[in-house]
Amino acid sequence: MTRITFELDGKQVEASPGETIWQVARRQGREIPHLCHSPAPDYRPDGNCRACMVEIEGERVLAASCKRTPSVGMKVKTESSRAVAAQKMVIELLVADQPARATSHDPDSKFWHWAEKTGVTESRFPAAERWSGDASHPAMRVNLDACIQCGLCVRACREVQVNDVIGMAYRNADAKIVFDFDDPMGESTCVACGECVQACPTGALMPAVMLDEAQTRVTYADRKVDSLCPFCGVGCQVTYQVKDEKVIYAEGRDGPANHNRLCVKGRFGFDYIHHPHRLTKPLVRLPNAKKDANDQVDPANPFTHFREASWEEALDIAAKGLVKIRDVSGVKALAGFGSAKGSNEEAYLFQKLVRTGFGSNNVDHCTRLCHASSVAALFEGLSSGAVSAPFAAALDAEVIIVIGANPTVNHPVAATFIKNAAKKGAKLIVMDPRRQTLSRHAHRHLQFKPGSDVAMLNAMINTIITEGLTDEQYIAGYTEGYDELKARIQEFTPEKMAPICGIPAETLREVARMYARAKSSIIFWGMGISQHVHGTDNARCLIALALITGQVGRPGTGLHPLRGQNNVQGASDAGLIPMFLPDYQPVGRVDLRGKFEENWQKTLDPVRGLTVVEIMNAIHAGEIKGMYIEGENPAMSDPDLQHAREALAKLDHLVVQDLFVTETAFHADVILPASAFAEKDGSFTNTDRRVQLAR
């Protein structure tokens, strides 16, 4: 790579091709004022605030350093009297239109920091008319009297998050930031990702929780904690701002999964930590409080049927009840449900407790009800039950298929990378019986008939094989059973499958050709694929598509089942499943099991345990009599709620540990409080299989 040598403030420096003067100066430790440009990833410079002007020898006018790239031999001065005078004048003009710092919405904003550094905190110029505030949004406040029209919020909304809500409207002195058609922010199509709030350098856009009751002054944190978002499987890195031991605001960090981005849940969804209904003391069921499957939790008084107890008493009752069942009815009469919301360490300890303390492999968690079919197919087809590429690989793909998933709702930050790729020219194919937000970015939306996934995908496989679009070299080197697939797929022509799936044969052929011929194609899927009686077959078809075309193992290619909860991947890795010990070691293998027995100093059950669904059936059959459920809510997540609630009510002894009195906890004999995400340390494994630390 050819380096560009030029002079910066009298010193010879080097720049990489495409690197701007501002970037080189920053790397050299020089600070140039900047307001419309953010060094955070994905924010391109606009050059419209003119605060970063520098002088270039031999040129008549000053240049915006955030846009200008150096050339060989160029002489740049960032601190000449002419450059500094221009920088100060820009700041002074902007100060004129700002509320006074003492009464401004955010006196600690980026703008006021630069005003301080340049020594210009007051202005000689008359102030313009103030825009009125907008408090219509529940999570954010709009104070356009502080807006400098830098355009960062527009780029944040349109180019980073690709939500297309914020824009500039009107002309001349009337020009301003608007939401949709100049609607109040709370009535616009804003999805509350808060990217604009994080980008705003002046306080014109702010989180409502940081402002006082009068919505005028900001509350600052007394410390910051770098952690993770506790919601979906994307694994966004977050900085929590904490005051008086309460989270008051969350900012995105430049983590590998999110690059500063967050969604509404990650940025604003932390109030549950401090909710008045949080369990803070153990509860024990009252002697006369009979269990009834039809009882519902009363939101006004969730603690009905229970009394408070000390930790010593509650743990004693919980343990003795489980031990009694184990000793009287045997180890197979106990079971445990762990949680995909807990850390890897908690998942490991929970499965170890069930296997060594209870004495069987009757331990499972919610993965059984989400991507278990995908994992089974991936193990069968790739010998690995995880993704083969991160979701950010979409940026390197020419063709992106999204099937059985709604990422803009369930994985909003991952969806931004897909939308970014589509804006760059990637062809996005959305396959879904319903149209969704992502569909407006799609090259094709295949609105197939519900349940006809296999027919549609088999038609694509048929097209690729019959038209010779396969990667023969990849097939020969890395696959088995191709000849059998080739023979079986002959009957599944697009013409025969079209009436079944509702997609025209020519469209099926077009999409198949597009996927196979692209240099790089990637497939994302969700629980619309896996939660079927034929979920494993759905995933098998997707795996076959990737393998016969060689669209796996290279940048921009692969298979990615979008994991739902924040640690569903890590919980499985840690052994929180009935047929595998940690690291997917089969419980039936003597040689593998022996290492765990030696380490844990306990003889382990060689027979696979029962799954979530099987455990519920076993309770009804009278085989399981006691359970410990940590952080799961089968009374709300089980496929048959009445069946699950009747099972929970039937148990002789149920211990539940959770943040709140959930529908499941309502049937418990003992309820133990749990630590919220922000109250503990631990590692979590996201959908990309990145292991990250939460604090």
Q: What is the pLDDT of residue 132?
A: 83
* CA atoms in the 13 A half-sphere facing the CB of 664: 23
| Residue 617 DSSP SS3 | helix
Q: What is the pLDDT of residue 41?
A: 66
Q: What is the greatest pairwise CA distance in the chain? A: 93
DSSP 566-608: TTHHHHHHTT-BTTEEGGGEETT-HHHHHHHHHHHTSPPP-S-
**Interatomic CA distance for residues 26 and 20, integer angstroms:** 10
CB 384 within 8 A of CB 378: yes
**Interatomic CA distance for residues 171 and 194, integer angstroms:** 26
111: its two tokens: 């703008």
> Listing from the earlier edge strand, what are the strands of the sheet with 246-252?
223-228, 237-243, 246-252
For 12-26, the pLDDT digits (tens) are 999 999 999 999 999
**Interatomic CA distance for residues 688 and 655, integer angstroms:** 33
CB 597 within 8 A of CB 606: no
Helices (H), 493-640: 494-501, 505-517, 527-530, 535-549, 568-573, 590-600, 612-620, 634-637
251: its two tokens: 């900012």
**Interatomic CA distance for residues 293 and 681, integer angstroms:** 36
Residues of the chain with pLDDT under 50: none
Q: What is the pLDDT of residue 368?
A: 83
